[in-house]
Copies of this chain bind each other. A is one copy, B any other.
Amino acid sequence: MAARPKNPPPDRRGDILDAALRLFAEKGYDAATNAEIARAAGITAAALYYYFPSKEELFRAAVSEHLAQFLPTLTNLTRQGGPPDGGSQEPFRSLLQRALAFFTGEKSQLVLKIILAEGPRRPEIRQIWNEQTAAAFASLMPYLAGAIADGRIRPVDPRLVFVLLQGPLMSAIVLRDLLQIPALQELTDEALVDAVLEVTLPGLLTDGR
């Protein structure tokens, strides 16, 4: 009977998007029902259709708008901590630390679960991912290319540099955190970053190790 709520929450739409992101990540698109999402957001299933035209659109909005929230953090990864300076690993330590801290964050992990689960089978999800991360990628490539042009890091394809540095972080996030492989549980973020800095990075810097 209660139609319009007496003390309305300030951001119902945001609440729905948050609930949807969590449930889509935890149970998958099909297994997460409108009723569950609505209940988690404090409304009924029918009310979802007041804010979104379909479950599909709600899904896309949840992924897209949460990814958009990450954009400033991602593009700022290369802007803070200073430029790579002659042979020093400090700017890279800062970059890797903040990148890893970001991707192990709770919200990020929810988004990553969805991207890994639905991305490979949904072109529109891949497109959202590509559009939203393109800016971050586009700021990282000149950062690396510039360091190469200045002779601070060896002339290696910046995309390879990216994969070499980011790969170990991704491996830890997927294997340790998402798949919870027992043998990797004791790996700390610090040890991982240190290892990349001590093992991989020297192979990239022009002054060797």
| A→B interface (CB under 8 Å) | 26-31, 113, 115-121, 126, 129-130, 133, 137, 141, 154, 156-157, 159-160, 163-164, 166-172, 174-175, 178-184, 186-187, 191-192, 195-196, 198-204, 208-209
Contacts and interface: CB of A to CB of B under 8 A. Distances in A.
Contacts of A121: 26-28, 113
Contacts of A184: 159, 163
Contacts of A192: 160, 163
A169 B203 CA distance: 17
Contacts of A163: 168, 171-172, 175, 184, 187, 192, 195
26 contacts: A28-B28, A28-B30, A30-B30, A116-B117, A117-B120, A130-B179, A130-B182, A141-B183, A156-B195, A159-B187, A160-B191, A160-B192, A163-B172, A163-B175, A163-B184, A164-B195, A164-B199, A166-B167, A167-B167, A167-B168, A167-B171, A170-B174, A174-B174, A199-B203, A202-B202, A202-B203
A208 B178 CA distance: 34
A205 to B, nearest CB: 10
